[in-house]
């Protein structure tokens, strides 16, 4: 079974993409776009994942030129025998992928705090996946985050705050920060002055 899941790089990308978006279903074209893979490769590898039982195929009706068309969509099988284990493996691997991201953040400006939460720790309750606190321009930060997104294979919901805003929100008991601080998280950088 593990060979069916992990013997192809494209197959692993597809499985990771679907697991990290386990609430949604996608067409082969959307999966190709989300994983940066060729549509032909996606179609080939999806068949292997369907065989293994890791993915479920559904027909969805969409409108094309005012005409209803049925299109195959795919989603991860949440009842797959080793779904939880595979999901936890991908979550742990993302943490390892974060080392390069951490180094780029350190070099980008005066960074006080970087924390991963949400999808990085397998939590759907969190409002964001990444919080960055410090003196870095939004444009520079966006470039670093985009690079990280390409590496991990999914879109990150992130927030950037400067230190005065963070301090103010802490003082007033901001619910956004309160919920973030009490949730599961991975601190990549923590150097408050």
How much of the chain, in percent, has pLDDT values that exceed 70?
A: 95
Q: With bands split at pLDDT 50, 70 and 90, how would you rate the model's confidence at 96?
A: low
DSSP state of 12: H
- Residue 98's nearest CA partner among 120, 73, 125 is 120
Q: With bands split at pLDDT 50, 70 and 90, how would you rate the model's confidence at 2?
A: low
- Crossing angle of helices 9-20/39-52, nearest 10°? 70
Considering the domain delimited by 91-190, tell me its CATH architecture: 2-Layer Sandwich (3.30)
Which CATH code fits 2-81?
Answer: 1.10.10.10
Helices (H), 21-162: 28-35, 39-52, 83-108, 138-152
Which tens digit of pLDDT belongs to each residue from 48-93? 999 889 999 999 888 888 888 889 999 999 999 888 888 878 877 7
- Ranges of each domain in the chain: 2-81, 91-190
**In which element (H, E) is residue 3 found?**
helix 2-6
- Residue 156's nearest CA partner among 176, 128, 178, 184 is 128
């Amino acid at each position: 079974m593990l060979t069916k899941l992990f013997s192809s790089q494209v197959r692993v990308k597809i499985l990771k993409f679907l697991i990290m978006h386990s609430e949604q279903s996608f067409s082969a074209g959307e999966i190709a776009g989300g994983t940066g893979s060729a549509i032909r490769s996606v179609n080939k590898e999806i068949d292997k994942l369907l065989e293994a039982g890791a993915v479920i195929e559904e027909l969805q009706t969409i409108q094309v030129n005012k005409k209803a068309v049925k299109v195959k969509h795919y989603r991860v099988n949440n009842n797959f025998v080793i779904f939880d284990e595979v999901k936890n493996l991908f979550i742990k691997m993302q943490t390892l992928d974060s080392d390069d991201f951490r180094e780029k953040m350190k070099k980008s400006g005066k960074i006080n705090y970087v924390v991963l939460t949400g999808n990085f720790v397998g939590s759907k309750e969190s409002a964001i996946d990444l919080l960055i606190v410090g003196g870095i321009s939004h444009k520079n930060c966006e470039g670093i985050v985009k690079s990280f997104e390409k590496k991990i294979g999914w879109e990150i919901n992130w927030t950037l705050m400067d230190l005065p805003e963070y301090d103010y929100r802490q003082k007033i008991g901001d619910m956004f920060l309160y919920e973030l601080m009490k949730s599961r998280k991975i601190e990549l950088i923590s150097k408050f002055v």
